[in-house]
């Protein structure tokens, strides 16, 4: 079950999971984007379903999970990828509505998805919960305080949840991307500005969605079965976690 699977990093994760042989549920608030991803997956020979889902609405998540379980079976892996920047402005100019919307999508959405799938994982004594943070959680970023706060909260949520469910055979981990070649950074910068960031990176490029998908695939695998509560930076070395 991959939220935010209609484009960018979420789509890349859905594609990579399918390549590993998983049946994939592509969820997105924009239904046609979810459908496009699922159609691509099925064309590649994968089992896939698309579900238009608002992760801030528990009823929408419940309906999505029921549809997934009926079509594909139990949900063993949850990738919480759906997220938004929100308005870019100094804190003194931000409306409460903007703050609440960013927290609702980026933090509460993941919490609600976890709440829905966790009982089944506990019953089966196996599961993978994968969250996505941001380099903004490591250093802070001006003009997107709600986004920065939300991504920091995701790291803490990952740690707390991992301690709760480790003995149930469930791992919980987080991937922290750097700037990636997706639509989100283009909300606030030109392609030229985006690619100038490559000059600052030790590896000489910005991230690709597939870089994040590779890390997520590893964390979902049996090979990562003794890794939990961790945040892994996938950013070409531009920021190194302690």
DSSP code per residue over the chain: -BTTTTSHHHHHHHHHHHHTT--EEEEESSHHHHHHHHHHHHHTT--EEEEE--TT-HHHHHHHHHHHHHHH----EEEE--------S-GGG--HHHHHHHHIIIIIHHHHHHHHHHHHHHHHT-EEEEEE--THHHH--TT-HHHHHHHHHHHHHHHHHHHHHGGGTEEEEEEEE-SBSSTTGGGTS-HHHHHHGGGGSTTSS-B-HHHHHHHHHHHTSGGGTT--S-EEEESTTSS---
At 7, the pLDDT band (50, 70, 90 cuts) reads very high
Percent of the chain with pLDDT over 70: 100
Instruction: Encode 202-213: b = buried (16+ Cβ within 10 Å), e = exposed.
Output: eeeebbebbbbb
**pLDDT value of position 195:** 81
**pLDDT value of position 125:** 98
Q: What would the mean pLDDT of 146-174 be, rounded to a whole number?
A: 98
Q: What would the mean pLDDT of 140-167 be, rounded to a whole number?
A: 97
Q: Is the pLDDT of residue 183 over 90?
A: no
| Cβ-contact 41, 241 below 8 angstroms | no
Which of 85, 147, 195, 226 is an active site residue?
A: 147
Half-sphere exposure of 49 (CA within 13 A, CB side): 17
Comparing 35-39, 120-124, 197-201, 226-230, which segment has the lowest mean pLDDT?
197-201
Cα 179 off chain centre by: 15
Q: Where are the domains of the chain?
A: 8-234
**pLDDT value of position 198:** 87
Listed in sequence order, the residues at least 6 apart from 79 whose beta carbon sits closer than 8 Å to its beta carbon are 1, 2, 3, 10, 13, 17, 130, 132, 216, 220
Whether 147 is catalytic? yes
Q: How far apart are CA 34 and CA 41, in angstroms?
A: 11
**pLDDT value of position 129:** 99
The encoded tokens of residue 217 equal 């695939």
Q: Is the pLDDT of residue 24 over 90?
A: yes
Q: In whole numbers, what is the pLDDT of the chain averaged over residues?
A: 97
Q: How far apart are CA 214 and CA 121, in angstroms?
A: 23
Q: What would the mean pLDDT of 172-193 be, rounded to a whole number?
A: 91
* CA quadruple 103, 173, 211, 27: dihedral, nearest 10: -50
**pLDDT value of position 187:** 84
Q: What is the value of pTM for the model shown?
A: 0.96
Listed in sequence order, the residues at least 6 apart from 189 whose beta carbon sits closer than 8 Å to its beta carbon are none
8-234 falls under which CATH superfamily?
A: NAD(P)-binding Rossmann-like Domain (3.40.50.720)
Q: What is the pLDDT of residues 93-143, one digit of tens each?
A: 999 999 999 999 999 999 999 999 999 999 999 999 999 999 999 999 999
């Amino acid at each position: 079950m991959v939220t935010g699977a209609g484009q960018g990093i979420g789509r890349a994760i859905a594609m990579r999971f399918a390549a590993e042989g998983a049946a994939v549920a592509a969820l997105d608030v924009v239904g046609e984007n979810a459908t496009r991803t699922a159609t691509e997956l099925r064309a590649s020979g994968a089992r896939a379903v698309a579900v238009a889902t608002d992760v801030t609405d528990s009823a929408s998540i419940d309906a999505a999970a029921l549809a997934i379980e009926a079509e594909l079976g139990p949900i063993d892996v949850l990738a919480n990828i759906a997220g938004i920047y929100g308005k870019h402005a100094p804190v003194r100019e931000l409306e409460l509505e903007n703050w609440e919307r960013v927290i609702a999508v980026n933090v509460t959405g993941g919490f609600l998805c976890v709440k829905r799938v966790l009982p089944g994982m506990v019953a089966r004594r196996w599961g993978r919960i994968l969250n996505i943070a941001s380099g903004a959680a490591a250093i802070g970023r001006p003009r997107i305080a709600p986004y920065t706060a939300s991504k920091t909260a995701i790291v803490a949520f990952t740690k707390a949840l991992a301690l709760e469910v480790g003995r149930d055979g469930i791992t919980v981990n987080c991937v922290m991307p750097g700037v990636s070649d997706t639509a989100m950074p283009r909300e606030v910068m030109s392609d030229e500005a985006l690619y100038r960031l490559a000059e600052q990176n030790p590896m000489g490029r910005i991230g690709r969605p597939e870089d994040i998908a590779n890390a997520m695939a590893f964390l979902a695998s049996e090979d990562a079965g003794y890794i939990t509560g961790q945040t892994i930076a996938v950013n070409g070395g531009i920021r190194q976690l302690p």
